[in-house]
Structure 1
Amino acid sequence: MKPSRSISAVAFGPDGTRDVARSLPEELPVAVSVNGSTQAVMMCSPGDLEDFAVGFAFTEGFARPDQIERVEIVELEVGVEARLWVADEIADALGARRRVMMGPVGCGLCGIDSLEQALRDLPVLPGGGSVGYGEAAHGPMALRAHQPLHDLTHAVHAAGFMVPGQGPGQGIVLAREDVGRHNAL
């Protein structure tokens, strides 16, 4: 599972054509399962899939990272399965709100059958954090230093976590890349 592959191509320019090598990002179907039951299938870049699966469980609200007992990334002929193992009571509660997500993008809404499910209440986060204008304005430039797959392919997005108070262009503590930026982190 490599995040990119090299291909031969023809480049067109003012002086004619020439043979070149290009790197293209890979994308493949990833099934996220919990205790053996598939919860979602999304198209993702094949890197950092353990982070993706744990982040999916957390943002979907069915398991915090500390509640996940084990993660297995299993390559299959047709894609990848990210297997999460949690306590039975968590898996049982998840079964009550299970949905099947299969679609052309990993937007998080595929398989939802009502607006109420899409607009469910989210937990209120504690206040106290703020980011100054200079840090926010320089954040995208700081993020670029953490995008090796983009540097190679010029075709993927990134998302990152920034710790405030580090100064403009500083503070990126974690970044992940993906064909779809909503899957990156």
Structure 2
Amino acid sequence: MEPMPRFCGPAEEFAHASHRTRAVERWQHGREVHALDQVAEEVPVAMVYNGISHAVMLATPAGLEAFGLGFSLAEGILKHKRELYDTEIVQRRDGIELHMTIAQERFVELKSRRRNLAGRTGCGLCGTESLQQVMRPTAPVESGLSLHPHAVHAALAGLPGYQSLQALTGAAHAAAWVSPAGVILHCEEDIGRHNALDKLIGTLAHHDADIRDGFVIVTSRASYEMVQKCATRGIAVLIAVSAPTSFAIDLAQQSGMTLAGFARGGSHVVYTHSHRLIEPQEKQ
């Protein structure tokens, strides 16, 4: 697979809408210094389907078309990208609306779910009305992917070079799509870890990427909804730089996903389906 174009990359390609310059007073080396600081943008983004507002997430206002598509797929609102007919980005005084026109069958299902999210940074299940909505069934992940641990840590070592917003502001998470050889093919950033993953999923769908031939790294903990988003799309391996939760481990085990956490400094911990992360045996 060839590297995908656009979105998150080296600093010179960075989208300036993602941050803003602010005057600050910095206490440094025992004295006050007047300086300029780069601050990540955070705006309400409403997901509007066929004229009906369904969810409002606080997000970084970049990669919004990918965000809308990825959110729709990861939340099970759409089953395929072709069920999204059109996306219009509407700037309002108090935020942004993503007006998405979707297939009528999917819209009828959406209305029947009666789901109304009130998303906050780092919040993935806010506003869910029932336990059944949380425990959304996912098909078993099917993948013959096999990774060498060195590929995982090569990608982790290269990831900071793709985190332009994080380098400028220190306030962004990233989700990266990586080849089995450890090459970062695409990366998305957002103030919210769920949002970054949604944007990545949307971009992969837009480019018809083969999700059986790669894995995801996230610069956050691996919570239930992060595993659920990956499992919904059939992604077989999720690597997190921080810890997973017990709920996430249970879902990964049930879904057939490989879940690893604490991936940093040349080490990681595999919690489920370790057969995909294989360390070749040294010759005796």
Q: Give the TM-score normalised by structure 2.
A: 0.60
Deviation at 1:46, TM superposition (A): 0.8
1:86-101 correspondence runs (5 A): 86-101=102-117
Deviation at 1:47, TM superposition (A): 0.8
C-alpha offsets along residues 41-74 of structure 1, whole Å, 9 cap, x if unaligned?
A: 1111111111111000001112121221111111
Deviation at 1:128, TM superposition (A): 0.9
CA distance change for structure 1 residues 106 and 18 in 2, over 3 Å: closer, same or farther?
Answer: closer
Residue among 81, 84, 89 paired with 1:73: 89
**Is the counterpart of residue 35 in structure 1 residue 50 in structure 2?**
yes
Task: Say which SS state the counterpart of residue 160 (structure 1) adopts.
Answer: strand
Code of the residue aligned with 1:85 in structure 2: it is T
Deviation at 1:117, TM superposition (A): 1.4
Task: Say which SS state the counterpart of residue 69 (structure 2) adopts.
Answer: helix
| Structure 2 runs not aligned, ≥5 long | 1-15, 198-284
Residue 69 (structure 2) aligns with: 54
Higher normalized strand content (fraction of residues): 1
**Is the counterpart of residue 18 in structure 1 residue 33 in structure 2?**
yes
* Bigger mean CA offset, 113-122 vs 45-54: 113-122
| Structure 1 runs not aligned, ≥5 long | none
Give the fraction of aligned pairs with identical amino acids, expressed as a percent.
Answer: 34
Residue among 175, 189, 192 paired with 1:180: 192
Residue 141 (structure 2) aligns with: 125
* Bigger mean CA offset, 114-123 vs 70-79: 114-123
Higher normalized helix content (fraction of residues): 2
- Equivalent-residue separation in structure 2 for 1:52 and 1:44 (angstroms): 9
CA RMSD in angstroms, aligned pairs only: 1.6
- Equivalent-residue separation in structure 2 for 1:171 and 1:66 (angstroms): 28
- Equivalent-residue separation in structure 2 for 1:112 and 1:26 (angstroms): 26
CA distance change for structure 1 residues 8 and 105 in 2, over 3 Å: closer, same or farther?
Answer: closer
C-alpha offsets along residues 69-120 of structure 1, whole Å, 9 cap, x if unaligned?
A: 1111111111111111112122112211131111433533111122221012
How many equivalent residue pairs?
Answer: 181
Q: Given that residues 71 and 85 in structure 1 are in contact (C-alpha distance below 8 angstroms), is that contact kept between their aligned partners in structure 2?
A: yes
Residue among 125, 128, 145 paired with 1:112: 128
CA distance change for structure 1 residues 59 and 103 in 2, over 3 Å: closer, same or farther?
Answer: closer
Residue 160 (structure 1) aligns with: 176
Task: Say which SS state the counterpart of residue 136 (structure 2) adopts.
Answer: coil
**Is the counterpart of residue 145 in structure 1 residue 157 in structure 2?**
no
CA distance change for structure 1 residues 26 and 90 in 2, over 3 Å: closer, same or farther?
Answer: same
Q: Given that residues 57 and 119 in structure 2 are in contact (C-alpha distance below 8 angstroms), is that contact kept between their aligned partners in structure 1?
A: yes
* Bigger mean CA offset, 28-37 vs 132-141: 132-141
- Equivalent-residue separation in structure 2 for 1:37 and 1:18 (angstroms): 48
Code of the residue aligned with 1:173 in structure 2: it is L
Deviation at 1:14, TM superposition (A): 2.1
Deviation at 1:15, TM superposition (A): 5.0
